[in-house]
A and B are shown apart, each in its own frame.
Chain A
């Protein structure tokens, strides 16, 4: 069963794109006893090797979360900001942000309270530090949305499930594979700067030059009112990527993932995503081409402070990943 304490520790950690140090140190603590070798590359990726020889497989989950950079502090001490990654204006008013030094601010909206106001641009918002808090903040400082995790039955609700839940899947798979002779050379890579342009995975793929790639990331669960038809559902199992806007999964990879899920009786569903992509998109296009899969964790309310996942899906993703890489991969 999903280690909820692990999930909580990761989702509540602070780490906007480019500022993943704390998340990396936290993950390092969990994986240090599991990996044969650990290093950090030039892009800040945490690279953990398990096994030696056989096919090289890169398993990527990104550590970073969306956030904001302070661009300006006005004479009254209000901060202005620009987004890191896909910050949604509709989610911001009244939300709280936390800076690396612990300072918490509240996001406000310019103008008089107006229930019909539809903010369109981040430039309409400001951060209220209150009580002289701005003195602890400098232009260029980085913040993330802050909110604790809630548990509700099989559901977990938190910020930054995107993509700390992918990191959880990777860590759980490493735990399951500790001591197993898989016949593969596995590289579990916790990547940087996914939310601003899939930067870390690109560097990791070039540096490792693997035979195959597997990205672990969230996907949009669309089983909510007036959402898509035939869509990924929460609780219906691991989502096996078929297509997204940056990644068409090669048929041989798709067949490998689907046949493995079926052979092991792992709950799964097919995923076709028309908004967003994952680390696999750049891994696949690196060097002479690295055939790549994505295993997605269905998630509601992506890029909000209430990203919601189902632990049964998380378990299915772990089982599927382990089943894919626990014996020599040969396609």
Chain B
């Protein structure tokens, strides 16, 4: 079930600000399990799983983002080539000749790139702002898209060896799959308080959705799931000077980003739960890359936030690699952390 959901979630299109398709899919997957399922003005989908009420007034938010990086059509040329703008951080080294879906009609396209023997010397990786998309049209009339339409990357989802799967958009969708898995786990064993689920919009362009969702939900604590770059690649001379996040190493409990310190009580809580429940985990102390959890902490009069990273190799490419055991262990960790969380955990 988890695997099937992950594949569907990965394959759905949902470039930041254009999350309609992925939101609809999550609505279907969540079905009637969450109460008050609502799409807010930012495009966040949220709903609540009622607890037994034994701890009244306590509200916890769990969030993962629905959106993915991609492009937006800025102009359709007379020759049928489509000019685009980047949506979210894109690494062009991964995207030369990438396959894409253009607009809601999903016209098939390819990122234009001259072949090396006819390139007139244009062999450098193109700047993201110079990208054009070729949909095979012989003129403007052959293009169904218009400016503002989103362009989504196509990732061929596949199962690989050693429990790994390949796909696009794992940065957000792995977390979405974990949250959907968590719903079933919590229905089987209800918590004493309400858990609010938020599938957030526009994370890749500055965590805009998460902040609004947190303001609406007004939780006493929040856990944010997201992808984190797995850098467990061969290193020259077995260099041992940098931190390594490994596929299969378990969920990555996050300490910080350059603009945010995760709540130390929730960091300690996650660590304790991982150790007592024998969930493998790693620690992610980040030197760069701003994570969405920081903006949740900004909501209203401040929300304690814990962040859990799901390790993904080649994360900003259409060919991310994810270890299914990390996904399962993320659900276990978050489930355990919620089950053990009480208002007293957050007392000063």
Interface of chain A residues 167 through 193 with chain B (CB within 8 A): 193
Whether B264 pairs with A19 at a CB distance below 8 angstroms is yes
A203: chain B residues within 8 A (beta carbon): 297-298, 300-302
A84 to B255, CA, bound (A): 11
A137 CB to closest chain B CB, in angstroms?
12
A80 lies within 8 A of B243 (CB): yes
B128 at the interface (CB under 8 A from A): no
* Contact yes or no, B301 A204, CB < 8 A: yes
Residues in B with CB closer than 8 Å to A45 are 302
| Bound: A45/B303 CA distance, A | 12
Residues of A within 8 A of B263 (CB): 18
Whole-angstrom distance between the Cβ of A83 and the nearest chain B Cβ: 8
Known pairs A17-B261, A193-B261, A197-B294; A82 contacts B301 (CB<8 A): no
**Which residues in B have their C-beta under 8 angstroms from that of A82?**
256, 285-287
Would you call B283 an interface residue if the criterion is a C-beta within 8 Å of the partner chain's C-beta atoms? Answer: yes
B54 interfacial contact with A, CB 8 Å = no
Q: Residue-by-residue, is A31-43 near B (CB-CB < 8 Å gives 1, otherwise 0)? A: 0000000001111
Stretch from A65-73, A216-224, A248-256 contacting the other chain:
A65-73
Question: Is there an interface contact between B285 and A70, defined as CB atoms closer than 8 Å?
Answer: yes
Chain A residues near B253: list those with CB within 8 A. Answer: 140
Are the CB atoms of B302 and A80 closer together than 8 Å? Answer: no
- The B interface is mostly helix, strand or loop, or mixed, namely loop
| A41 proximity list for chain B (CB < 8 A) | 301-302
- Contact check, A196 vs B283: say whether CB atoms are below 8 A apart: no
| Given contact pairs A42-B302, A197-B294, A71 touches B285 in the complex (Cβ within 8 A) | yes
Nearest CB to that of B290 among chain A residues?
A: A197
B267 part of interface (Cβ distance < 8 Å): yes
A314 to B303, CA, bound (A): 33
A103-138 vs B: 1/0 string, CB under 8 Å? 000000010000000000011001000000000001
List which B239-263 residues lie within 8 A (CB) of chain A. Answer: 240-244, 253, 255-256, 258-263
Tell me the bound Cα distance from A126 to B241 in angstroms: 9
Contact-residue size bin, chain B (C-beta under 8 Å from the other chain): 20 to 34
A140's partner among B285, B294, B300 (CB-CB below 8 A) is B285
Q: Are A18 and B301 in contact (CB under 8 A)?
A: no
Residues of A in contact (CB 8 Å), total 40
- Please give me the residue from chain B that is nearest to A81 by CB atom: B285
Could you tell me if A207 and B300 are in contact, using CB atoms closer than 8 angstroms?
A: yes
Q: Does A30 count as interface, using CB distance less than 8 angstroms?
A: no
Q: Which residues in A have their C-beta under 8 angstroms from that of B220?
A: 42
Instruction: Give the distance in Å from the alpha carbon of A197 to the alpha carbon of B255 in the complex.
Output: 15
Does A197 contact B259, Cβ atoms closer than 8 Å?
yes
Contact in complex: A75, B240 (CB < 8 Å)? yes
A235 proximal to B (CB < 8 A): no
Chain A residues within 8 Å of B301, by CB: 41-43, 203-204, 206-207
B301: nearest chain-A partner, CB-CB: A207
| C-alpha spacing A203/B260, complex, angstroms | 13
A207 — which chain B residues lie within 8 A by C-beta? Answer: 300-302
In the complex formed, the residue of B with least CB distance to A195 is B261
Interface pair B261/A196, CB less than 8 Å apart: yes
Given the known interface contacts A19-B264, A139-B285, A207-B302, the answer about A80 and B256 at a Cβ–Cβ threshold of 8 Å is no
A-B contact pairs, 25 of them (CB 8 A): A21-B264, A21-B348, A41-B301, A42-B300, A42-B303, A44-B348, A71-B243, A71-B285, A71-B286, A74-B241, A75-B240, A80-B242, A84-B256, A122-B287, A123-B242, A126-B241, A138-B283, A139-B243, A140-B253, A193-B261, A196-B260, A202-B298, A203-B297, A203-B298, A206-B301
Given contacts A139-B283, A199-B297, 18 further A-B contacts (CB under 8 A): A18-B263, A19-B264, A43-B297, A43-B302, A43-B303, A45-B302, A69-B256, A70-B285, A75-B240, A82-B256, A82-B287, A84-B256, A123-B287, A139-B243, A140-B285, A196-B256, A196-B260, A199-B298
